[in-house]
Amino acid sequence: MKALVLEEKMTLSLRDFPIDADEATLGPRDVRIKLHTVGICGSDVHYYTHGKIGPFVVRAPMILGHEASGIVIETGTEVTTLKEGDRVCMEPGIPDPNSRATRLGMYNIDPAVRFWATPPVHGILRPTCVHPEAFTFKLPDNVSFAEAAMVEPLAVGVHAATKAQVKPGDLALVMGAGPIGLVTALSALAAGCARVYVSDLDDAKLEIAAKLGPITPINVTRQSPAEVILKDTDGWGAELVFEATGSPKAAATIFEPLCPGGRVVLIGGQSEPIAYDAGAAMVREARVENIFRYAHVFPRCVAMLASGAIDVKPLITRTFDFEDSVHAFEVAASAPKGDVKMQIAMPQ
Ligand SMILES: [Zn+2]
Protein backbone atom coordinates (compact mmCIF):
# COMPACT_ATOMS: atom_id res chain seq x y z
CA MET A 1 0.00 0.00 0.00
CA LYS A 2 1.10 3.58 -0.64
CA ALA A 3 2.64 5.07 2.51
CA LEU A 4 4.75 7.99 3.68
CA VAL A 5 8.08 6.33 4.38
CA LEU A 6 11.05 7.74 6.25
CA GLU A 7 13.82 5.97 4.31
CA GLU A 8 16.55 7.41 6.50
CA LYS A 9 17.35 10.74 8.15
CA MET A 10 16.21 13.63 5.88
CA THR A 11 14.84 11.30 3.15
CA LEU A 12 11.10 10.79 2.81
CA SER A 13 9.20 9.13 0.02
CA LEU A 14 5.60 8.49 -0.82
CA ARG A 15 5.70 4.97 -2.23
CA ASP A 16 4.30 1.50 -2.23
CA PHE A 17 5.35 -0.18 0.99
CA PRO A 18 4.83 -3.85 1.83
CA ILE A 19 3.15 -4.37 5.20
CA ASP A 20 4.15 -7.55 7.06
CA ALA A 21 1.47 -10.23 6.91
CA ASP A 22 1.18 -10.46 10.72
CA GLU A 23 0.60 -6.72 10.97
CA ALA A 24 -2.13 -6.83 8.32
CA THR A 25 -3.92 -9.85 9.79
CA LEU A 26 -7.17 -9.06 11.60
CA GLY A 27 -7.23 -10.79 15.00
CA PRO A 28 -10.55 -11.66 16.70
CA ARG A 29 -10.43 -8.51 18.87
CA ASP A 30 -9.03 -6.17 16.21
CA VAL A 31 -10.63 -3.75 13.79
CA ARG A 32 -9.43 -2.69 10.36
CA ILE A 33 -9.51 1.07 9.92
CA LYS A 34 -9.43 3.28 6.86
CA LEU A 35 -7.36 6.31 7.90
CA HIS A 36 -8.98 9.73 7.47
CA THR A 37 -6.85 12.44 9.13
CA VAL A 38 -3.31 12.20 10.52
CA GLY A 39 -1.60 14.93 12.54
CA ILE A 40 2.10 15.70 12.12
CA CYS A 41 3.75 15.39 15.51
CA GLY A 42 7.01 16.94 16.69
CA SER A 43 8.30 13.39 17.14
CA ASP A 44 7.59 12.51 13.46
CA VAL A 45 9.48 15.65 12.42
CA HIS A 46 12.35 14.83 14.79
CA TYR A 47 12.76 11.33 13.32
CA TYR A 48 12.79 12.96 9.88
CA THR A 49 15.41 15.58 10.76
CA HIS A 50 17.56 13.59 13.23
CA GLY A 51 16.86 9.91 12.46
CA LYS A 52 16.41 9.16 16.15
CA ILE A 53 14.88 10.21 19.45
CA GLY A 54 16.96 9.18 22.46
CA PRO A 55 17.39 5.40 22.32
CA PHE A 56 14.96 4.98 19.39
CA VAL A 57 16.97 4.95 16.16
CA VAL A 58 15.55 4.59 12.64
CA ARG A 59 17.58 1.69 11.22
CA ALA A 60 15.22 0.62 8.45
CA PRO A 61 12.58 2.44 6.37
CA MET A 62 9.64 3.31 8.65
CA ILE A 63 6.14 4.68 7.98
CA LEU A 64 5.54 7.90 9.98
CA GLY A 65 2.42 9.17 11.78
CA HIS A 66 0.62 8.33 15.03
CA GLU A 67 -2.12 10.97 15.57
CA ALA A 68 -5.08 9.59 13.69
CA SER A 69 -8.76 9.24 13.06
CA GLY A 70 -10.57 7.01 10.60
CA ILE A 71 -13.48 4.73 9.78
CA VAL A 72 -13.89 1.08 10.80
CA ILE A 73 -14.09 -1.06 7.64
CA GLU A 74 -13.86 -4.57 9.15
CA THR A 75 -14.22 -6.07 12.62
CA GLY A 76 -12.75 -9.21 14.20
CA THR A 77 -15.08 -12.05 15.24
CA GLU A 78 -15.06 -11.11 18.95
CA VAL A 79 -15.42 -7.32 18.58
CA THR A 80 -18.54 -6.06 20.38
CA THR A 81 -18.26 -2.27 20.80
CA LEU A 82 -17.48 -1.22 17.21
CA LYS A 83 -19.02 -1.93 13.83
CA GLU A 84 -18.31 -1.23 10.19
CA GLY A 85 -18.79 2.45 9.38
CA ASP A 86 -18.03 3.72 12.90
CA ARG A 87 -15.95 6.90 13.00
CA VAL A 88 -13.06 6.45 15.44
CA CYS A 89 -9.78 7.74 16.81
CA MET A 90 -6.99 5.47 17.90
CA GLU A 91 -4.57 5.35 20.81
CA PRO A 92 -1.21 4.62 19.14
CA GLY A 93 0.47 2.62 21.91
CA ILE A 94 -0.33 -1.06 22.41
CA PRO A 95 1.07 -2.42 25.67
CA ASP A 96 1.72 -6.03 26.55
CA PRO A 97 -1.42 -6.91 28.59
CA ASN A 98 0.60 -9.28 30.79
CA SER A 99 3.51 -6.99 31.58
CA ARG A 100 4.11 -5.96 35.17
CA ALA A 101 3.65 -2.24 34.37
CA THR A 102 0.35 -2.90 32.58
CA ARG A 103 -0.96 -5.01 35.45
CA LEU A 104 -0.07 -2.14 37.80
CA GLY A 105 -2.17 0.25 35.66
CA MET A 106 0.78 2.08 34.09
CA TYR A 107 0.60 0.64 30.59
CA ASN A 108 2.11 3.80 29.07
CA ILE A 109 5.43 3.06 30.76
CA ASP A 110 5.41 -0.64 29.90
CA PRO A 111 8.89 -1.07 28.38
CA ALA A 112 7.34 -3.48 25.84
CA VAL A 113 4.71 -1.01 24.56
CA ARG A 114 4.48 -0.95 20.75
CA PHE A 115 3.90 2.64 19.68
CA TRP A 116 3.18 3.76 16.12
CA ALA A 117 6.07 5.44 14.32
CA THR A 118 8.58 4.62 17.05
CA PRO A 119 11.23 2.39 15.48
CA PRO A 120 10.89 -0.42 14.59
CA VAL A 121 7.05 -0.03 14.70
CA HIS A 122 5.42 1.52 11.63
CA GLY A 123 3.09 4.52 11.83
CA ILE A 124 -0.18 5.09 10.01
CA LEU A 125 0.45 7.51 7.14
CA ARG A 126 -1.02 4.78 4.90
CA PRO A 127 -4.51 3.91 3.67
CA THR A 128 -5.48 1.30 6.30
CA CYS A 129 -4.28 -0.27 9.53
CA VAL A 130 -5.27 -3.01 11.96
CA HIS A 131 -5.70 -1.99 15.60
CA PRO A 132 -7.09 -3.52 18.83
CA GLU A 133 -10.71 -2.70 19.66
CA ALA A 134 -9.56 -1.79 23.19
CA PHE A 135 -7.48 1.13 21.87
CA THR A 136 -10.00 2.34 19.28
CA PHE A 137 -12.59 4.91 20.39
CA LYS A 138 -15.91 5.69 18.74
CA LEU A 139 -16.56 9.36 17.94
CA PRO A 140 -19.81 11.21 18.57
CA ASP A 141 -21.32 12.78 15.41
CA ASN A 142 -20.32 16.30 16.46
CA VAL A 143 -16.57 15.53 16.69
CA SER A 144 -14.89 15.93 13.29
CA PHE A 145 -12.09 13.70 11.98
CA ALA A 146 -9.68 16.66 12.26
CA GLU A 147 -10.60 17.23 15.92
CA ALA A 148 -10.38 13.49 16.56
CA ALA A 149 -6.83 13.39 15.19
CA MET A 150 -6.05 15.97 17.92
CA VAL A 151 -7.09 13.55 20.68
CA GLU A 152 -3.60 12.02 20.79
CA PRO A 153 -1.74 15.26 21.62
CA LEU A 154 -4.68 16.40 23.79
CA ALA A 155 -4.28 13.20 25.81
CA VAL A 156 -0.81 14.41 26.86
CA GLY A 157 -2.29 17.65 28.22
CA VAL A 158 -5.10 15.84 30.02
CA HIS A 159 -2.64 13.36 31.54
CA ALA A 160 -0.44 16.28 32.68
CA ALA A 161 -3.41 18.12 34.26
CA THR A 162 -4.44 14.89 35.98
CA LYS A 163 -0.95 14.35 37.40
CA ALA A 164 -0.88 17.99 38.55
CA GLN A 165 -4.10 17.47 40.54
CA VAL A 166 -5.54 20.79 39.40
CA LYS A 167 -7.91 22.36 41.93
CA PRO A 168 -10.69 24.80 40.99
CA GLY A 169 -9.28 28.32 40.92
CA ASP A 170 -5.61 27.37 40.55
CA LEU A 171 -3.31 29.59 38.52
CA ALA A 172 -1.02 27.81 36.09
CA LEU A 173 1.93 28.65 33.90
CA VAL A 174 2.46 26.59 30.74
CA MET A 175 5.93 27.04 29.26
CA GLY A 176 5.72 26.59 25.49
CA ALA A 177 2.94 27.49 23.02
CA GLY A 178 3.45 24.56 20.67
CA PRO A 179 0.72 21.94 20.24
CA ILE A 180 1.52 20.21 23.54
CA GLY A 181 1.76 23.50 25.47
CA LEU A 182 -1.59 24.66 24.13
CA VAL A 183 -3.44 21.39 24.74
CA THR A 184 -2.00 21.48 28.27
CA ALA A 185 -3.34 25.02 28.76
CA LEU A 186 -6.77 23.88 27.50
CA SER A 187 -6.67 20.85 29.79
CA ALA A 188 -5.66 22.94 32.82
CA LEU A 189 -8.57 25.31 32.18
CA ALA A 190 -11.00 22.42 31.68
CA ALA A 191 -9.73 20.93 34.95
CA GLY A 192 -10.63 24.13 36.81
CA CYS A 193 -7.79 26.63 36.55
CA ALA A 194 -8.98 30.23 36.92
CA ARG A 195 -6.28 31.50 34.58
CA VAL A 196 -3.36 30.09 32.64
CA TYR A 197 -0.23 31.99 31.63
CA VAL A 198 1.43 30.69 28.46
CA SER A 199 5.04 31.62 27.68
CA ASP A 200 6.86 31.31 24.35
CA LEU A 201 9.22 33.18 22.00
CA ASP A 202 6.77 33.31 19.09
CA ASP A 203 4.20 36.14 19.16
CA ALA A 204 2.10 34.47 16.47
CA LYS A 205 1.67 31.33 18.57
CA LEU A 206 0.99 33.42 21.70
CA GLU A 207 -1.72 35.25 19.78
CA ILE A 208 -3.45 31.92 19.13
CA ALA A 209 -3.00 30.99 22.80
CA ALA A 210 -4.58 34.23 24.02
CA LYS A 211 -7.80 33.46 22.12
CA LEU A 212 -8.31 30.05 23.73
CA GLY A 213 -9.79 31.25 27.03
CA PRO A 214 -8.64 33.08 30.18
CA ILE A 215 -5.03 32.89 29.02
CA THR A 216 -2.33 35.52 29.49
CA PRO A 217 0.46 35.31 26.88
CA ILE A 218 4.03 36.05 27.94
CA ASN A 219 6.76 36.56 25.37
CA VAL A 220 9.94 35.46 27.16
CA THR A 221 12.11 37.66 24.94
CA ARG A 222 10.49 40.68 26.63
CA GLN A 223 9.34 39.51 30.08
CA SER A 224 10.06 36.64 32.42
CA PRO A 225 7.06 34.53 33.48
CA ALA A 226 8.13 34.83 37.13
CA GLU A 227 8.14 38.62 36.92
CA VAL A 228 4.62 38.75 35.45
CA ILE A 229 3.09 36.11 37.71
CA LEU A 230 4.65 37.33 40.96
CA LYS A 231 3.44 40.85 40.16
CA ASP A 232 -0.11 39.62 39.44
CA THR A 233 -0.26 37.53 42.63
CA ASP A 234 1.32 39.99 45.10
CA GLY A 235 4.47 37.88 45.23
CA TRP A 236 2.73 34.53 45.87
CA GLY A 237 3.16 32.73 42.53
CA ALA A 238 1.28 30.13 40.48
CA GLU A 239 0.06 26.83 41.93
CA LEU A 240 1.10 24.95 38.81
CA VAL A 241 3.95 25.09 36.32
CA PHE A 242 3.87 22.87 33.23
CA GLU A 243 7.17 22.68 31.31
CA ALA A 244 6.32 21.93 27.67
CA THR A 245 9.29 23.36 25.78
CA GLY A 246 11.91 20.66 26.33
CA SER A 247 14.42 23.49 26.62
CA PRO A 248 17.03 23.11 29.39
CA LYS A 249 17.02 26.91 29.70
CA ALA A 250 13.30 26.93 30.47
CA ALA A 251 13.61 23.97 32.84
CA ALA A 252 16.27 25.84 34.83
CA THR A 253 13.62 28.45 35.80
CA ILE A 254 10.60 26.26 36.61
CA PHE A 255 10.44 27.11 40.33
CA GLU A 256 10.79 30.89 40.02
CA PRO A 257 7.07 31.53 39.31
CA LEU A 258 5.87 28.69 41.60
CA CYS A 259 4.04 29.38 44.89
CA PRO A 260 4.87 27.60 48.14
CA GLY A 261 3.48 24.06 47.98
CA GLY A 262 3.07 24.28 44.20
CA ARG A 263 3.29 21.48 41.64
CA VAL A 264 5.49 21.23 38.56
CA VAL A 265 4.90 18.81 35.69
CA LEU A 266 7.75 18.16 33.27
CA ILE A 267 6.27 17.36 29.86
CA GLY A 268 8.88 18.47 27.32
CA GLY A 269 11.21 15.74 26.10
CA GLN A 270 14.87 16.08 27.06
CA SER A 271 17.51 14.37 24.95
CA GLU A 272 20.32 15.21 27.39
CA PRO A 273 20.35 15.34 31.20
CA ILE A 274 19.18 18.73 32.47
CA ALA A 275 19.65 20.63 35.71
CA TYR A 276 17.00 22.25 37.85
CA ASP A 277 17.24 24.26 41.04
CA ALA A 278 16.61 21.70 43.79
CA GLY A 279 17.11 24.35 46.49
CA ALA A 280 14.34 26.48 45.03
CA ALA A 281 12.15 23.37 44.94
CA MET A 282 12.96 22.57 48.56
CA VAL A 283 12.02 25.91 50.10
CA ARG A 284 8.65 25.67 48.31
CA GLU A 285 8.16 21.97 49.08
CA ALA A 286 7.44 21.76 45.37
CA ARG A 287 6.07 18.49 44.03
CA VAL A 288 7.64 17.57 40.70
CA GLU A 289 5.86 15.14 38.39
CA ASN A 290 7.02 13.63 35.12
CA ILE A 291 4.76 12.29 32.44
CA PHE A 292 5.38 9.95 29.53
CA ARG A 293 2.60 9.98 26.93
CA TYR A 294 -0.70 9.12 28.74
CA ALA A 295 -2.87 6.30 29.99
CA HIS A 296 -6.66 5.88 30.19
CA VAL A 297 -7.52 9.39 28.96
CA PHE A 298 -8.76 9.00 25.36
CA PRO A 299 -12.43 8.59 26.38
CA ARG A 300 -12.18 11.74 28.53
CA CYS A 301 -10.67 13.69 25.63
CA VAL A 302 -13.41 12.56 23.23
CA ALA A 303 -16.05 13.46 25.83
CA MET A 304 -14.63 16.97 26.29
CA LEU A 305 -14.47 17.60 22.53
CA ALA A 306 -18.08 16.42 22.23
CA SER A 307 -19.37 18.57 25.10
CA GLY A 308 -17.42 21.67 24.06
CA ALA A 309 -15.44 21.71 27.34
CA ILE A 310 -12.36 21.78 25.10
CA ASP A 311 -12.09 23.22 21.58
CA VAL A 312 -8.96 22.17 19.68
CA LYS A 313 -10.02 23.59 16.31
CA PRO A 314 -8.01 26.86 16.67
CA LEU A 315 -4.83 24.77 17.04
CA ILE A 316 -5.18 23.18 13.59
CA THR A 317 -3.45 25.77 11.44
CA ARG A 318 -2.78 23.88 8.18
CA THR A 319 -4.01 20.80 6.33
CA PHE A 320 -2.19 19.06 3.46
CA ASP A 321 -3.33 16.34 1.07
CA PHE A 322 -1.65 12.95 1.49
CA GLU A 323 -0.18 13.36 -2.02
CA ASP A 324 1.58 16.44 -0.66
CA SER A 325 2.83 14.84 2.54
CA VAL A 326 6.57 14.97 1.76
CA HIS A 327 6.18 18.72 1.26
CA ALA A 328 4.10 18.88 4.46
CA PHE A 329 7.02 17.46 6.43
CA GLU A 330 9.47 19.89 4.82
CA VAL A 331 7.19 22.74 5.90
CA ALA A 332 6.79 21.28 9.40
CA ALA A 333 10.57 20.85 9.73
CA SER A 334 11.07 24.53 8.93
CA ALA A 335 8.95 25.33 12.04
CA PRO A 336 7.05 28.24 10.49
CA LYS A 337 6.00 30.93 12.92
CA GLY A 338 2.33 30.89 13.85
CA ASP A 339 1.76 27.27 12.89
CA VAL A 340 0.64 25.03 15.72
CA LYS A 341 -0.72 21.72 14.38
CA MET A 342 -0.46 20.60 10.76
CA GLN A 343 -2.53 17.68 9.59
CA ILE A 344 -2.64 15.41 6.55
CA ALA A 345 -5.95 14.47 4.95
CA MET A 346 -5.89 10.89 3.63
CA PRO A 347 -7.61 10.12 0.30
CA GLN A 348 -11.19 8.90 0.86
ZN1 LIG B 1 2.10 13.07 18.89
Residues with CB under 5 A from ligand 1 (ion): 41, 67
Q: HEC states along the chain?
A: CEEEEEEECCEEEEEECCCCHHHHCCCCCEEEEEEEEEECCHHHHHHHHHCEECCEECCCCEECCCEEEEEEEEECCCCCCCCCCCEEEECCEECCCCCHHHHCCCHHHCCCCEECCECCECCCCCCEEEEEHHHEEECCCCCCHHHHCCHHHHHHHHHHHHHHCCCCCCEEEEECCCHHHHHHHHHHHHCCCCEEEEEECCHHHHHHHHCCCCEEEEECCCCCHHHHHHHHCCCCCEEEEEECCCCHHHHCCCCCCEEEEEEEEECCCCCCCCCCCHHHHHHCCCEEEECCCCCCCHHHHHHHHHHCCCCCHHHEEEEEEHHHHHHHHHHHHCCCCCCCEEEEECCC
Identify the pLDDT of residue 22: 77
Distance of CA 348 from the midpoint of ligand 1 (Å):
23
In this predicted model, what pLDDT tens digit does every residue of 116-171 receive, in sequence order? 999 999 999 999 999 999 999 999 999 999 999 999 999 999 999 999 999 999 99
Identify the pLDDT of residue 153: 98
Identify the pLDDT of residue 24: 85
Distance of CA 65 from the midpoint of ligand 1 (Å):
8
In this predicted model, what pLDDT tens digit does every residue of 302-333 receive, in sequence order? 999 999 999 999 999 999 999 999 999 999 99
Distance of CA 116 from the midpoint of ligand 1 (Å):
10
Distance of CA 37 from the midpoint of ligand 1 (Å):
13
Distance of CA 282 from the midpoint of ligand 1 (Å):
33
Identify the pLDDT of residue 295: 96
Whole-model pTM: value is 0.96
Distance of CA 121 from the midpoint of ligand 1 (Å):
15
In this predicted model, what pLDDT tens digit does every residue of 239-277 receive, in sequence order? 999 999 999 999 999 999 999 999 999 999 887 888 899
